[in-house]
Structure 1
């Protein structure tokens, strides 16, 4: 089952090298990283908090990138996204290296071996899921001939992950003249923003990969490649905005068929409120309409205050009224209540002062841990 990561327990590190002292310039790379960072932080994608997205642009040394990835790997417990855009090189041992601003062809001490990043993900990461996106290429003679075969994906793969890699053969294919973004990242951004007509409710990496192959192939660009380890293809980067409900929930509608956020994927308070706001988006209702459908249980102002809270509500009634008014099925509302109680209990265990649960809330005996469809893996 595809799932959107909990933004409170996820991290992203976006690395871009577009300025080079000895290699060809890639001016579109800067646009890549900043546009992708904005998208991951915004409502069209994962809504990651600003502090959970690290942008490393034109790093002067390899340890700058490795340090940023290591910090994110230590903090993320749900999903860790690592993105690189720039030149990719192949050393004498046919290993992938990422070019930095001062990289010189043939000078191994001036590159970032990709295996350093991979080892951080394998050995130091607490995240259950890893997403690696590489918009780079191999550099051939004078960078005039660039190609990427199956070896790139094989080298970059990490257990419990999904690798999505651009396969650019020429600089023009990688960064078309006059375009704002590189070909691969531009297509990825367009898909996340606009969705896939007729596609799944959640744009998981498997669906994105298949769509990008068709889109880039139709444009005459090299098609990407991918490696899926331990169900990594089920990680979603956005809702499919092309197929979100165009009309509000109507009386008698089979509301259970709507792509409601999955409360089982919520692990943090940030994720709770992000998913709660997403419920209204899926319902197609305005805040005023939600209030009207609640039969006076909550006002439009109360809806806004609920969705903009930083701390969990002390009682359950307002959240329940909101979910019910949005059209969420009763069995799914019960799952939301379980998650609310679990998060409150976790805060209490951490020393936060939380008022006693309201009458009728889930008991200690009834709590259970949300189900996760992923497990961490290790390379064999």
Structure 2
């Protein structure tokens, strides 16, 4: 099957001080990428390459043109400085270009020509919006050189070439002179092309398609009407003038992208931030999906390695310089936020974030203020979350089969599902490494006390909880109000065992003393304060103490025999669960059933609280052939547990990226003012980008068709990438995701977009 792919290269910043920074290429590349990737217009799978060194640009170009078929449709776009040597040979500048070392630090036009000649495709369009000098001239000129000779550089390739200038002209950025505030935006050439494609006006013959001749004619006419002081040229080498560049855009109210105007909303700093976002998002895009592609990284010691872990990848990314560093930081923050919320979906969140930021560029370039744009983003995503809730109301009861849908079988789904479903809603599920090579699991009844994790104890950074094994339990009948009370509490029992102190309340001085004991001795001491004090509650305290083979004591009347024992203690900021150490399982179950019977909610407020005292703790023990394998399997099982717990609470949906794409198709808000509808339409299109990237990552030759098919029939169909089966009925395996995942992702992305707009 033939493909439609575009490689969009823009270079704005240069290490060589003799190559002045350009204002347009970064935004040019993003704007063109947006319209080319729109399924209703270009339908291309777009690969943006922004501000990259020469070896990266050459590698991307070579990879783009290799192993192609005759019917593959390819589009190459270059926006950068163009430099000629003493022999008038043309070179495209990259971020690391040295004017004295052009052959080794730039992209020779001869190199590009060689790739075109060797390419198997005969449906190729090259768009060149190049600058030819090393200085940014007053008034926006990119060059002072006087000859281009592009025809000689690209002859005999069988491609169509459209350039921004003729052989004697300069290429221009923005409109006329740049103001004293440094304002500037899309280059004149690219803006005319984007406007024609987005508005549909480039379809000059009205046949529903924009051909090479249509696009060239529209761009030339617009630039002449603007008196842009440059005339585009085109060469059709191999009969490709009728090549269909894009569909005519549907009249959906998006309106045309305006030609450049000197507006303050989108100046150079904003473009640099966008460049940072794009450069950080590009490697993460590769990892999207259940079968991620690896990203090549270099460690601190210079040794190369590869990874699919998004947190590891963003940590290894170069920070960049100037305002681009802010864009990289936004991506890092989003990855951390999404991981904290769901421990999954970080790559999807980044792809969606980048797409939404790009979707806002036309409005920003047109002078829209960031504050109302942020409100529009919030309203659109809020509508999307509401629609998600309507599609999947919270289930009354989820079966093991339902929960198992979101757990891949390769991560021991049987043990995970039994542990999660057996423990129930809101239960603790611990995943721990074990010395063996297999996996085991068990579910234990526990006494659950309202209380909190002592803040000085180390807690898991993701779950926010801590677990203590083989702990002593001391149940006190009165508050600990002083440091001496706390010292009394820790003076008994085996000092090598963790200690859990249950008391009605802890004064600050007592809490500080427990923290000091932990700091000085390393012995974990956890304080648990039950939520209510009433006579029935005091009786229950005594029963809890006896359950753990201890006693409910008054300060300072405890002795060593007053201490009870718990096999396992799990604590969060909300509650603490204690699993009994001694006694037969039958006696333990009988005791818990007795508590449940006595604590049935009733009209008595004190009794109503008692049902919080019973719960369950599940444990999953994961082994491996070696330490590395064990660590990897533990991480996989923990993620599977998190997915299963989310499914138990919120239900399941057939595909995360598919659900987002369907949202983009079905959101409607006809009450929005007409001037805001283009922004809303662009944001809806952005919601389809994760599915597009997923299909692209898994070898689909036409991601646009995948998006269209899923949007048309979801949730009856979705996209299956594990076994590369493409669009499949939703009853298939390996396609389900917890319904909460896209919901929380929209929250994380909204926060990231809002943060971006606050920088503009």
TM-score (norm. length: structure 1): 0.58
Aligned pair partner of 1:234 in 234, 237, 242: 242
- Asked if the contact 2:213–2:242 (Cα under 8 Å) also holds between the matched residues in 1, the reply is yes
Change (3 A) 1:122 1:219: same
Structure 1 counterpart SS, 2:33: helix
Q: CA RMSD in A?
A: 3.5
- 2:120 & 2:38 partners in 1: Cα distance? 24
- 2:74 & 2:25 partners in 1: Cα distance? 21
**Offset of residue 277 of structure 1:** 5.3
Pairing 1:44-63 to 2, within 5 Å after superposition: 44-49=40-45, 53-61=46-54, 63=55
Match of 2:61 in 1: 69
- 1:302 & 1:273 partners in 2: Cα distance? 15
Match of 2:114 in 1: 119
Change (3 A) 1:206 1:146: farther
- 1:303 & 1:231 partners in 2: Cα distance? 41
Pairing 1:214-225 to 2, within 5 Å after superposition: 214-221=221-228, 222-225=230-233
Do residues 132 (structure 1) and 126 (structure 2) align? Answer: yes
**Offset of residue 276 of structure 1:** 11
TM-score (norm. length: structure 2): 0.31
Structure 2 counterpart SS, 1:36: helix
Pairing 1:335-374 to 2, within 5 Å after superposition: none
Change (3 A) 1:198 1:212: closer
**Offset of residue 129 of structure 1:** 1.6
Q: Bigger shift: 207-216 or 230-239?
A: 230-239
Runs of at least 5 residues in structure 1 that lack an aligned partner in the other structure = 1-5, 245-267, 279-286, 288-300, 315-380
- 1:210 & 1:307 partners in 2: Cα distance? 41
Change (3 A) 1:150 1:242: farther
Match of 2:212 in 1: 205
- Asked if the contact 1:11–1:75 (Cα under 8 Å) also holds between the matched residues in 2, the reply is no
Do residues 26 (structure 1) and 22 (structure 2) align? Answer: yes
- Asked if the contact 1:198–1:243 (Cα under 8 Å) also holds between the matched residues in 2, the reply is no
- Asked if the contact 1:153–1:225 (Cα under 8 Å) also holds between the matched residues in 2, the reply is no
Aligned pair partner of 1:86 in 70, 80, 84: 80
- 1:147 & 1:140 partners in 2: Cα distance? 10
- Asked if the contact 2:719–2:726 (Cα under 8 Å) also holds between the matched residues in 1, the reply is no
- 1:242 & 1:149 partners in 2: Cα distance? 40
**Offset of residue 107 of structure 1:** 3.9
Match of 2:102 in 1: 108
Match of 1:164 in 2: 162
Change (3 A) 1:215 1:56: same
Aligned pair partner of 2:153 in 143, 152, 155: 155
How many aligned residue pairs are there? 258
Change (3 A) 1:46 1:231: same
Pairing 1:317-332 to 2, within 5 Å after superposition: none
**Offset of residue 142 of structure 1:** 8.0
Q: Deviations over 1:202-244 (max 9, x none)?
A: 1111111111111101111111111101121111221223789
Aligned pair partner of 2:7 in 9, 13, 35: 13
- Asked if the contact 1:148–1:167 (Cα under 8 Å) also holds between the matched residues in 2, the reply is no
Change (3 A) 1:215 1:82: same
- 2:728 & 2:51 partners in 1: Cα distance? 43
Do residues 36 (structure 1) and 36 (structure 2) align? Answer: no
- Asked if the contact 1:128–1:160 (Cα under 8 Å) also holds between the matched residues in 2, the reply is yes
**Offset of residue 185 of structure 1:** 0.7
- 1:88 & 1:119 partners in 2: Cα distance? 18
Aligned pair partner of 2:194 in 189, 199, 211: 189
Match of 2:746 in 1: none
Greater strand percent: which structure? 2
Match of 1:274 in 2: 705
- Asked if the contact 1:39–1:45 (Cα under 8 Å) also holds between the matched residues in 2, the reply is yes
- Asked if the contact 1:136–1:166 (Cα under 8 Å) also holds between the matched residues in 2, the reply is yes
- 1:213 & 1:17 partners in 2: Cα distance? 24
- 2:62 & 2:77 partners in 1: Cα distance? 14
Structure 2 counterpart SS, 1:153: helix
- 1:72 & 1:235 partners in 2: Cα distance? 19
Change (3 A) 1:183 1:216: same
- 2:236 & 2:719 partners in 1: Cα distance? 36
- 2:40 & 2:241 partners in 1: Cα distance? 19
Q: Deviations over 1:47-85 (max 9, x none)?
A: 234xxx222211222x21221112121254311211110
Q: Deviations over 1:237-294 (max 9, x none)?
A: 21223789xxxxxxxxxxxxxxxxxxxxxxx97549739959xxxxxxxx9xxxxxxx
- Asked if the contact 1:13–1:81 (Cα under 8 Å) also holds between the matched residues in 2, the reply is yes
- Asked if the contact 1:59–1:65 (Cα under 8 Å) also holds between the matched residues in 2, the reply is yes
